[in-house]
Amino acid sequence: MPHSELKHEYCRSVRQLTKIVDKFVSQDGDGQDMETLLQECIDTLVNYQEETKKLKKTLLTHSEWSPSVFEGYEAVFVYYKIVSQIVLSKIPELEQFKIAKAAAGNDAINGRDKGLMEVYNMLVKTLLTDDKIGDVRRYIKEHSKRDLDGSGSSSSASSAATLQYDIHSGQAIASSVLKELMNNSRVLLIDLRPRTQFVASHIASNTLMCLEPISFKDSYSDADLLKKSLITSPDFEIDLFKKRDTYDFVVIYTSSAERTGFNEQQQSALVHILLNRSFEAPLKSTRVLTLQGGIESWRKSQGVCEETKTDSENAYLNSDLSGFDFQEVAKSTTPSYQYRLDSSLNPMLSKPHAPQDGQVRTPQFFPNQQPALKRNSSFREKLIKYSPLPSRTTTPIAKSNETQSTLYPETPKLAPSAPALNNLPHISPIQSYTLSPISRSVSPPNTLTLGKTSTFPPQGSLPERFTGSRPQFRPNDVPKSTSNGVTRKEYLDKDLDFNVGLVNLGNSCYMNCIVQCLLGSRELCRIFLDDSYKNHVNLNSKLGSKGVLATYFSKLIHVMYNQALMIKTKRLPTNERTAVQPSHFKVACGSINSLFKSSSQQDCQEFCQFLLDGLHEDLNQCGANPPLKELSREAEDMREKLPVRIASSIEWERYLTTDFSVIVDLFQGQYSSQLKCQVCNKTSTTYQPFSVLSVPVPFGNRCTILDSFSEFTKVEVLDKDEQWSCPRCKQKQPSTKKITITRLPRNLIIHLKRFDNMLNKNNIFVEYPHVLDLTSFWADDKRDDAPASLQELPTRGQVPPFKYKLYAVASHSGTLYGGHYTAYVNKGPWHGWCYYDDTSCRKVKNSDECITKSAYVLFYHRIYDS
């Protein structure tokens, strides 16, 4: 026995310590202003750091069950909770804070309020990034007297009130206890397993949601879960999570049969997030529990399970959406979110590192502390013009009975980079309007870091094969600021805008220009440069290349990046001697499609379509699923009666059951093609996904890109030999065809159809703007009379307006088989627009050089109104 139960040598529980904090914070009353409370928090952080150092020394000379160690952990926990309650609960209730927060986004904020908000945001970031409090809480739970865990508990007569009193957050409960809670309390269940397992079988409950283990990291906050991990979830599950603080219990369960232990690690991480990083919906009285033995123990205890229906025809026949895995694809962020999916994809595509739990630990980095907690009397005094305050004496806090309260209110938006508390320098009282920022030695997560440690050949074309390790930035390599006001994040991101030419391998300019244009998409470039794509290669995808295309595309990007870094650091010119030979990549493409095997000229838009389709199939998480069944005639008739907006959404959900990848999220849209009988008005509509949208080019002297879209979406009267065989009339009838754009992607690739069926080229100048508004071409006929259940279909970013910014242009001169391809690419604010002609690369002469008569394929990225 590591301790004696007879002597009651236990640490005080989390509930007991939280009650101490509640009492301590309440002693201040409600009359304090924001300045006083901020000073109190800073003083308490100083105490937190001092007690952390003391605990570290105590651990060197005492066992983990020593009363001195107990007291040290208790004090560290209490100091942290004091700061969190004041910062995240008390200050936001102040009228002064509400006014300062409302004015923070404009120039009207005065200097004093601005200084206060800067200090406040610094404190919030400190709490948010503290990586020790989870270990402190875990130690306290493992070394405090255990309450009911459900083992051996068979008494079904115990009341819900007794259960609620005995069970504390972080505890693992037995299936019998869970049944009691579900019968007598409000319980939110979180199934922490892959969606496919969840669909196959889950605990039967109306308040159940699924969270995939790979979708989050232990460093996330509840806001990150909502905006990143749950961005792929159906709306009703998102609503459940938003209301998690209204439940008596949140019970998380996973599968104990998962051999690697990753699910259980993520389960512990999720408990930590909900208890310690729940800022937007603080769990004041809600207890967070886990299920002992996972769903397997629930089944053994005769617990009721059910499966999710998968028949998507029910959406048409019964207005039933339960057959869709709405969370199977990343849902584009609506304009109401400032957070864009191009950044939220990074953690989803990077395998998270879960904490290693499951055994009692002896922490090695927390300081020791005295049983008595210090209270600085500056808590009672106001700040005067942020002047330094003298030191003050301390008084102890007495022990108290158990209670539970975790108070984390809404937090303001934070910068992506924030330090951990152990890197925080000694904090002195506020002395000026602007507090010195915390040390920024920690890079933002999932941000590409670069450096100058790799070696390269001194000259000549660089072969595609590169075996060196990825270079890393040393902290001193990153400037804190630049003369033109560029931030640290922008400095790191600018290296995604690398410049290097590609060698023409013999009429391969069609390939070179498309590669350069696609790398203008930072989202695509990032996931292949940081290798996160590897987590999603599906070797079982029926139409994929077993990862061959994705692997060689990534290798090419790596080589281009490293060569560009050498060019930049050694200040070499971009020419034939420094260009990259994409020979291995071309061989890989030729091995998959013989069209690109020879040295003959090809159509660049066909290569673009091939590359995006191939990458999609390699990364298609549903590539091994059976193909969609054709709809019955009855279901088709019901679909025709629905608004296009709803029918297209249902068809998109059906499509996602067989096609789900990051390429779908980044590049794919959808249009409908409706045939209509001119005699009986019978219609038949099909829905088609696209990665490259081919629009006609009208003949004449010049036209605009909007003219092309008008031509693309106009009603077309079919010729006699193309007339539709109407199923109602039982014969071919005069008919029309109408194309409607039903889904606009985040990256829109527009192919200008300059070549007719005889390969004659239309060289008309198509005017296209830097900012393109396509809102008027997007189908918006949603009606209120549609079934209520169908109104709940995920929007997946299909919220107007639809404005796009030009970021690349593939141009073509000459004929289809005797011409040449070049590219214009916007390489960000550091480089601007650049012109690529195989090996050569230069900046454009002016901003409108990219608006060219020879434009053939246009690349646009969606922008959102602020």
**Residues tagged active-site:** 509, 820
- b/e map 721-750, b = 16+ CB within 10 Å: eebbebeeeeeebebbeebbbbbbbbbbbb
Nearest CA-CA partner of 168 in 135, 144, 139, 136: 144
- Tell me the residue length of the chain: 866
- Tell me if 414 sits within 8 A of 125, measured CB to CB: yes
Name the 3-class secondary structure at 454. Answer: coil
Burial label for 651, CB within 10 Å (0-12, 13-18, 19+), is: buried
The DSSP letter of residue 277 is S
DSSP 207-227: SEEE--GGG--TT--HHHHHH
- Tell me if 171 sits within 8 A of 195, measured CB to CB: no
Name the 3-class secondary structure at 862. Answer: strand
What value does the CA radius of gyration of the chain take, rounded to a whole number of Å?
A: 31
Nearest CA-CA partner of 86 in 409, 309, 385, 341: 409
Phi/psi at 579 (nearest 5 deg)? -70, 160
Peptide bond into 801 cis (omega under 30): yes
Q: Which amino acid is at 273?
A: I
- Distances in Å between the alpha carbon of 131 and those of 220, 261, 277, 427? 11, 21, 11, 18
Nearest CA-CA partner of 263 in 225, 218, 213: 213
Name every residue whose Cβ is closer than 8 Å to that of residue 600 and which is 6 or more positions away in sequence: 507, 817
Residue located via tokens 């029910």: 314
- Helix 522-529 / helix 341-349 crossing angle, nearest 10 deg: 20
- Tell me if 512 sits within 8 A of 502, measured CB to CB: yes
